[in-house]
């Protein structure tokens, strides 16, 4: 090559291969006494796995703990209200000291019931306390220990209802919008510290929340099926895990419409539990 020849450098091919993350062996799940949280605990429960699970109903939580132990997991079950900031800090730190946590799933949540009218003032405050403050109480204490280890994964359970405010469930959808926005916002910063943050947005899943709904729920799936999808996609460290895809696609589109169209469409949608 002489000095007059232009040197064209082709861009390096971009690899689309995503290195799978290490399977978690020490996992903390809030709201594991029923529904999605219980199904996640049982999905992860295998020999060699440590599960720290919590909820408020002792009988249901102990039944899940027992079923997980039968599958070979070591389980520590604790009755804690996620709105109790001090108790949550104590519990998450104790669990992390005993078994450094690979994965923390902030799952506990409530809805107002089957319709917007059931979200009165007190219910609105309760929903925000559990679904928003409860998530912060779960996640914030664990960030510093994970940063120190430069490892760990945090999963925030939002909802397809968290893609935009829903007139049919104002407090519930707003709480899930916050969880999704916060998770997406902290993901980049924590990635530099070796922590992966994923937001999980399920559609309708059969549980004590959706059992209150009286309308027909499209593509309703079982909690064990939802748990399998969540576990598999958490493994790849995705930013947002939204399913089932047809409902997720509809919510992606609705969320980017101009407000007047969006609110017109949402005003005609079934109420979300
Ligand atoms: N089901 C769906 O269609 C759907 C869709 C999208 C997102 N989600 C979200 O998935 C998560 C799990 O809900 P789910 O559908 O599985 O309903 P679920 O069966 O009612 O489970 C909710 C869990 O949260 C716990 N919980 C509620 N308030 C709590 C509190 N103050 N302190 C501690 N634990 C508390 C409950 O424990 P106790 O009963 O023992 O208090 C229970 O274990 C929620 O965040 C929900 O918003 C659900």
Is 34 within 8 Å of 222 (Cβ atoms)?
Answer: no
Q: By C-alpha distance, which of 124, 102, 139 is closest to 174? A: 124
Whether the pLDDT of residue 267 is over 90: the answer is no
CATH number at residue 164: 3.40.50.720
- pLDDT tens digit string along 96-136? 999 999 999 999 999 987 566 678 899 999 999 999 999 99
- CB atoms under 10 Å from CB of 247, counted, come to 19
Mean pLDDT of the chain: 91
CB of 91 sitting under 6 A from ligand 1: no
Whether the pLDDT of residue 11 is over 70: the answer is no
Minimum-distance ligand 1 atom for the alpha carbon of 131: 45
* Position 9 in a domain: no
* Position 10 in a domain: no
* Position 272 in a domain: no
The DSSP-derived string for 27-67 is EEESSTTSHHHHHHHHHH--TT-EEEEEES-HHHHHHHHHH
Q: Whose CA is nearest to atom 38 of ligand 1?
A: 56
Domain extent for 44:
26-266
pLDDT given at position 39: 98
Residues marked as catalytic:
172
* Position 217 in a domain: yes
Is 171 within 8 Å of 117 (Cβ atoms)?
Answer: no
Residue 26, H or E segment = strand 26-29
* Position 88 in a domain: yes
Residue 105, H or E segment = strand 103-106
pLDDT given at position 14: 45
* Position 120 in a domain: yes
Our mutation pick for probing the ligand 1 site, out of 32, 35, 79, counting the most ligand atoms within 8 A of Cβ, is 35
* Position 190 in a domain: yes
For the chain, first and last CA: distance in Å?
Answer: 69
Averaged pLDDT for residues 27-39: 98
- pLDDT tens digit string along 63-78? 999 999 999 999 999 9
* pTM of full prediction above 0.85: yes
217 or 22, which is more confident:
217
Alpha helical stretches, state H, the chain: 35-44, 58-70, 85-98, 121-128, 134-149, 170-191, 223-235, 245-256, 259-266
* Position 58 in a domain: yes
Helix axes 121-128, 170-191, angle to 10 degrees: 20
Number of domains within the chain? 1
């Amino acid at each position: 090559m002489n000095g007059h020849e232009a040197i064209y450098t082709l861009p390096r091919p971009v690899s689309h291969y995503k290195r799978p993350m290490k399977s978690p062996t020490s996992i903390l799940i809030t709201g594991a006494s029923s529904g999605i949280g219980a199904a996640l605990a049982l999905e992860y429960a295998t020999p060699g796995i440590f599960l720290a699970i919590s909820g408020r109903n002792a009988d249901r939580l102990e039944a899940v703990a027992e079923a997980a132990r039968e599958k070979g997991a070591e389980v520590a079950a604790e009755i804690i209200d996620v709105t109790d900031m001090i108790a949550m800090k104590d519990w998450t730190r104790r669990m992390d000291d005993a078994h450094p946590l690979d994965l923390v799933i902030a799952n506990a949540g409530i809805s107002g019931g089957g319709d917007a009218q059931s979200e009165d003032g007190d219910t609105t405050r309760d929903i925000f306390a559990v679904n928003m403050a409860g998530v912060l109480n779960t996640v914030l204490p664990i960030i510093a220990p994970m940063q120190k280890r430069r490892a760990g994964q945090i999963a925030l359970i939002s909802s397809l209802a968290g893609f935009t405010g829903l007139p049919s469930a104002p407090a519930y959808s707003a709480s899930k919008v916050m969880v999704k926005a916060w998770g997406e916002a902290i993901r980049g910063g924590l990635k530099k510290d070796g922590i992966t943050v994923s937001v999980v947005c399920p559609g309708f899943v059969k549980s004590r929340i959706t059992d209150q709904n009286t309308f027909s729920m499209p593509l309703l799936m079982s909690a064990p099926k939802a748990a399998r999808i969540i576990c598999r996609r958490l493994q790849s460290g995705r930013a947002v895990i939204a399913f089932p895809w047809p409902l997720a696609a509809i919510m992606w589109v609705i969320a980017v419409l101009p407000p007047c169209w969006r609110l017109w469409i949402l005003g005609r949608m079934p109420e979300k539990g």
